[in-house]
Every structure is written in C-alpha cells, then in structure tokens.
Amino acid sequence: MKPFNLEYLGIFNTAEIYHNLTPAELTEEALFRGEGILSNTGALVIETGKYTGRSPDDKFIVDVPKIHKKIAWGKVNRPISLEKYNAIRAKMVAYLQGRDLFVFDGFAGADPDHRKKFRVINELACQNLFIHQLLIRPTAKELHYFGKPDFTIIVAPDFHCSPEIDGVNSEAAILVNYVDKEVLIAGSAYAGEIKKSVFSVMNFLMPKEDVLPMHCSANMDPVTHETAIFFGLSGTGKTTLSADPNRKLIGDDEHGWSENGVFNFEGGCYAKCINLKEENEPEIYHAIKFGSLVENVVIDEKTRVLDFDDARFTENTRVGYPIEYIDNAEIPGVGGIPKVVIFLTADAFGVLPPISRLDKNAAMYHFVTGFTSKLAGTERGVKEPQPTFSTLFGEPFMPMDPQVYAKMLGDKLDKYGTKVYLVNTGWSGGSYGVGSRMKLSYTRAMVTAALNGELENVEYKHDKVFNLDVPQSCPNVPKNIMNPRDTWADKNAYDATAKKLAGMFQDNFAKKYPSMPQEIVEAGPKA
C-alpha cells in the first residue's frame, strides 16, 4: 500500500499521520500526549477549555454563486467570502505543518442508498477517537475501497483565528464550504462542533435525494418494528427518551426519513451527563467505559470516579460512545416508516400541557416554530433556560429555507398517516425558579401511551389559548398534572403567563413565516 498522505489537500510537511487507528490506539495516543486521563470505568476524560458547548456565532457558510440562492441567509446562516475562507485555510494548513495528525474515514447514513463518506482530520487524538465512535465505522473491506471522500473536515483546536484580519467573530471559527465539500473547525476543542458539522452537511445534501433530514432520535418496537421519532433541541430529552429498554434504539440525534423508512446518520451517541444516575438512565450510565470520550465531567484524581453532579466546568457535560454500547441498539440503524412523531419541548414558562395531540396543520405549525428553552450549557453563555424558537427543532443546522423541510414533513404525514404529539419535558407547577421539572417517569409513561395507542381512546379537552387537544388521563401519570393550570397555586399568574407565551408564538410566526398557508397559521396559539 502507498504511504498515506494529505498532500492532495495542500497539507504538506506533516509529522506522523495516523490513519484509521483503533479506539485502543487512539486512547493510548491521547494519554501519551496528555490530552486526558482514564476514569475508573476506562473512559477517556478530557476538558475542552473555554469552549464547552457549540459556538453558533462563530459558524459561517462560504457564500459563492453556485449555492447562494439555496441558503437561508441570516443570523443563523452567516456568509463568509471565498477569499476570507481561503485565507484562513492557508494559515490553518501552514499551522499543521510539522504536526502529528489523526485521520478517520467513516460514513454518515446507515441506509446504503443515501450514505456519504467523510474524512475527518484532527490534531488531537481524543477528538479523532470521538468522531471514530460517533460516525459509522466502515468494515475492513469498505475501508479498502473507501476512495475519495464526499466531504472532508479539518479540525485544529489550537489554531486561533484573528477576528480583525480573518473577518470572523472570535478566535474560533466553523466554516462550511458546500462547493469545495470541506469544513474547517478552528479554535474550539468542543467535539460537538465536529458532529454538528456533519449534520449540517447532511441537511444540505439529503433533500436533493428526497430524504427529510431530522434533528431527532428514533427507536422501534422489537417485535412489530413500529418506529417512533423524537424531535427536540439539545436538553429536551431526545437521547434519554429514545434509550428505552423496552424498544430498540435506532439512534439518538440525527436521522433521515426516506421512502425506505428512517435511518440513522450516525454510528454513535452523544449524551448529556449532568446529574446522570444509574437508576434513571442505566443505558447511558453503563456506556461510559473504555472507548468512550467524556467531556468536562469533574473527576477525582485519586479514585478516578466521575462526579456527574458537579457542574463547575459546565452544565453541558457530555459523553460520546458507539451505539453498540447500548444493549438494545438496532444495528444497522435502520427502521420502518414512523408510526408516531413526538415533538419535545422544554417549556421554561411551565404553561404548556405535558402532552398534546396534533393534527397535520398543528404538526406543521409546531415543526416550523420549534419552541423550546435553550438549557444551561448547550451554547456558550447560556446559564439558565432561555425561551427560544428554533425552526424545525434544529435551526442552527438547517442551511436551506425552512419551508423546504416543512413541506417534506407534511407530505410524509399525509402519505403515511403518522400520528403526532407535542410533549413538554420542561416545567410544571410554575415557571423556572418556581415550578419543578417534569418527572422523567411521567414523561416516559406518556410517551409509552402515545406509542402503544393508549391515548387514542381517552377523553380530550381543548386548550383554547394554545389551541391544543389535551388528554385528560394517561396510565401511570397523576391526573392532576395533565392540565398545567391545575398545577399552579396562582391561577391568575398562570393565565397571564400562558397568554404571554401564546403572544410570543404569534409574534414569532408572523415575523418568520409571513407566507405560510392560512390553515397552518390558524393551527397555532390564540393570545
């Protein structure tokens, strides 16, 4: 075999290039280089420094004529010129000279009909371990015939941009070049930037193949193979709720919905660790072992025991692990046409019902709206829940016009008769600071009832403010929490808060989607 090099990318004069090392080898390299330490369970534990979450203000898309009209430009999809991109790239390539590099070749897309090849180049062994475990790992034969990747990601956390010279916002930059099929990640050691860059690329490529890309988790019944998908932003419960011991896990975060069914983009999971307890989330707890990468969890230097309750570095503590570490994982990550869609929202106002049934128009409204609360640590600067409207429950990763994705979802709901529910995993009994977070056991029970059809024959009450149909009972859930107004001590405060949030829904929708069909507008809240 020819010696592997990266000269075709303009990366010359490197030191050693480690190509497709095993997790054991990458762990050894990371320990040797002082990038982290081992926990008592064998997981590699690292600190990511200043960047402990995604940095959305530092993400840019290269603006060139070929793709200009395809991108929904704005505060989320910021443009950067090709000239600035090339200048930053040239400096990054120069920075990599003389350095050891780690290269991983892998796939995104468990369905071979829609699979894409990614090459990820890292200066840190620990980050190469992360992406090795998060993407789909090729077989030896697939690696032999891997050939030219569809996309390349170059990651250099210790290379810092100069905002004044480079035309970016800080020393960190995530630059996506859809034409040259390349992503540059500079200045941030947070591994989630690599994962979400892959997702952003797939979200651009998949609609061309009539595949709906989705920021969701997915699981299925092990006997009937009936599939469910869970939409939601980070911290709303996608990973936790999909890791159901009674169902097969397809994936925890990123999927496509094709005419074949649902398929995972990834081969691993990236779970939050804050306040992790074995009794509540045993699947995730036991996945923290050799081969996993743990970010920013406090560790006892003597015993090497992890303290999941200590948030001194960040609330956004994380672990990345291969999906095989979940005992009930479905491998490969492919399921059937979804029977049920769950929209997850963490309502910090504490006024949305814990579960509601949506018709097609209401489903389209809430899919486009994507209301939730940004939870502490998921982005830099977020210290407590902040109400937000994230289009498609994944706005930071959706490069094209939201109506492209929304129309695809509506068409699929029509075609397959899929049922849709809105589930609030946020606060009950009051707003953040007064009420309490919805108990996970109750949310699990409501989701289970939605999946097995138990909510189809119960009494419903229409919530006039939020324009939602609310079930009045659910197995294994106290009846008094089904209507949020009943949980508030101050009913007048509830009414005022509910009207405030409904007004926020209306204002957001009118501003962002003025051309949306009237039947979808009418399906939303009524302030």
**What positions carry a catalytic annotation?**
54, 196, 215, 234, 238-239, 253, 318
DSSP 362: H
Residue labelled with tokens 């994230």: 390
DSSP characters over 481-506: GSSHHHH-S-HHHHHHHHHHHHHHHH
Cα–Cα distance, 187 to 105 (Å, whole number): 22
Secondary structure element (H or E) that encloses residue 83, with its range: helix 82-96
Identify any residues that bridge with 386 across adjacent strands, giving them in sequence order.
374
Cα–Cα distance, 235 to 1 (Å, whole number): 45
Please count the other Cβ atoms lying within 10 Å of the Cβ belonging to residue 170: 19
Cα–Cα distance, 11 to 419 (Å, whole number): 50
Identify any residues that bridge with 120 across adjacent strands, giving them in sequence order.
104, 153
DSSP 183: E
Cα–Cα distance, 334 to 251 (Å, whole number): 9
Considering Cα of 407, then 248, then 250, then 389, what sign does the dihedral take? positive
Three-state SS at 200: helix
Length of the chain: 527
Q: Name the amino acid, one letter, at 33.
A: R
Q: Name the amino acid, one letter, at 176.
A: V
Q: Name the amino acid, one letter, at 476.
A: N
Asked if 149 contacts 119 with a C-beta cutoff of 8 angstroms, the reply is yes
Burial class of residue 32, CB neighbours in 10 A (0-12, 13-18, 19+): exposed
Residues 6 or more apart whose CB falls under 8 angstroms from that of 141 comprise none
Cα–Cα distance, 260 to 256 (Å, whole number): 10
Cα–Cα distance, 30 to 25 (Å, whole number): 9
Strand segments, DSSP code E, in 274-337 are 293-295, 298-299, 306-307, 318-322
Cα–Cα distance, 195 to 487 (Å, whole number): 39
Cα–Cα distance, 384 to 250 (Å, whole number): 31
Name the packing angle between helices 360-369 and 491-512 (round to 10°): 80
Three-state SS at 472: coil
Asked if 189 contacts 159 with a C-beta cutoff of 8 angstroms, the reply is no
